[in-house]
Amino acid sequence: AQTVTQSQPEMSVQEAETVTLSCTYDTSENNYYLFWYKQPPSRQMILVIRQEAYKQQNATENRFSVNFQKAAKSFSLKISDSQLGDTAMYFCAFMTSIQGGSEKLVFGKGTKLTVNP
């Protein structure tokens, strides 16, 4: 079974600075998807960024980028120019890409990020 580990329960960063959230995962599959979801106080689950394991290039979405190290099974999220609105719980998630397999999302325990003014 796949597992996702987020070793940082809480982090804080000053507004406009850069912060990196860590995520490691365990799987025997070669092809899969990785995601970062943001959950602000409203509790809405918002997709931040997505990475396909077969792609070597790291995904980027505006101020958000990932460092995907497949061999190390590591998938960290970097937030540049942090904004107050980035304050939220961030979940790392794994999904298989095997057709007919379990397409459920497996989440880590989350990292609570606070951006300070």
Residues in contact with another protein by the rule CB under 8 A = 33, 37, 42-47, 50, 91, 95-97, 99, 102-110
Is residue 114 classed as helix, strand or coil in its secondary structure?
strand
Nearer to another protein (CB atom), residue 39 or residue 58: 39
Rounded to 5 degrees, φ, ψ at 84 are -55, -35
Cβ–Cβ under 8 Å, residues 93 and 104: no
Closer CB to another protein, residue 18 or residue 102?
A: 102
**DSSP element (H, E) containing 76:** strand 74-79
Closest approach of Cβ 17 to another protein, in Å?
Answer: 26
Of 58 and 80, which has the nearer Cβ to another protein?
Answer: 58
Question: What is the smallest separation between the CB atom of 28 and another protein, expressed in angstroms?
Answer: 18
Minimum Å gap between C-beta 53 and another protein is 12
**Residue 26 CB, nearest distance to another protein (Å)?**
16
| Amino acid at position 17, single letter | E
Measured at the CA of 50, the angle between CA 99 and CA 69, to 5 degrees, comes to 95
